[in-house]
Structure 1
Amino acid sequence: MGSFWLSLLLVLHILVGCAVIGFVLLQHGKGADMGAAFGSGASGSLFGATGSANFLSRSTAVLATIFFITSLALSYFASGFDWRGPSDLMESVAPTQAPVTIEASAPAASQEIPK
């Protein structure tokens, strides 16, 4: 994969990650419904009473899915894994040198400790 496309994918990944953070921060928590019960709700807003919550949650889900896909794509291209087959994989892991053997020396004769 070319350097341009990898850079473009990385920039897209960072932008989507920032957008996910922003959309999560814009959403109302569970306790925000109590304030809406006393008249401070946004029933006259652009999306309606619950439309903004649905829009934000759906947008967050779409952005999270895109973030997940770009994460997988970046990890795939960063690993440099070659799909040619297991024989090539085993050749790349096989040792190129003979294993080194270490001989253990015989323990020293035990000496009695005076009492």
Structure 2
Amino acid sequence: MEQIILIVHLLIALAIIALIMLQQGKGADAGASFGAGASQTVFGSAGSSNALTRATAWLVVLFFATSFGLALLATQKTQVVDDLDLFIPEAEEGVAPALDSDVPVVDNTSPSMEPTDNEVPEL
């Protein structure tokens, strides 16, 4: 079901792009008012603004509906983190965690900076 909605969503998006590219801008109306080829248009002298605008509006409504449907399907597929069967121990207050023997311990003492015979400080 999700794949079908996704394919329809993609086709509607491409159709919206095509219809928007076919529409004329507002500046084209000035040339059409003086008779610049208006009699040779496919949609007549009235222009194609009504048909293309209505088709674009309907495709936008369908695009919104498929977007909403895909969002609903996505939220139904999500799982709660508690359902992953992860064991998280509870921390006790005031008790320091025990150090493992594999973890190295950093020595807090600083190296002596007094020069020795070979001028290399000791660690």
TM-score, structure 1 normalization: 0.63
Distance 1:24 1:99, change over 3 A: farther
**Uncovered stretches (5+) of structure 1, i.e. residues with no partner:** 83-88, 102-115
Q: Structure 2 CA distance, aligned partners of 1:75 and 1:99?
A: 36
Distance 1:22 1:99, change over 3 A: farther
CA deviations on 1:1-42 (whole Å, 9 max, x unpaired) are: xxxx22111110010000000001111111111110221153
Q: Which residue of 2 aligns with 1:49?
A: 46
- 1:39 matched to 2:35? The reply is yes
Q: Which residue of 2 aligns with 1:73?
A: 69
TM-score, structure 2 normalization: 0.59
**Greater RCO, CA 8 A, separation 6+:** 1
**Uncovered stretches (5+) of structure 2, i.e. residues with no partner:** 92-96, 98-123
May I ask how many residue pairs the two structures share in their alignment?
Answer: 102
Q: Greater Rg, structure 1 or structure 2?
A: 2
Two-structure CA RMSD over aligned residues (Å)? 3.6
Q: Which residue of 1 aligns with 2:117?
A: none
The counterpart of 1:20, out of the listed 16, 22, 33, is 16
Shift of 1:90: 9.7
Bigger helix fraction:
1
Identity percentage over the alignment? 38
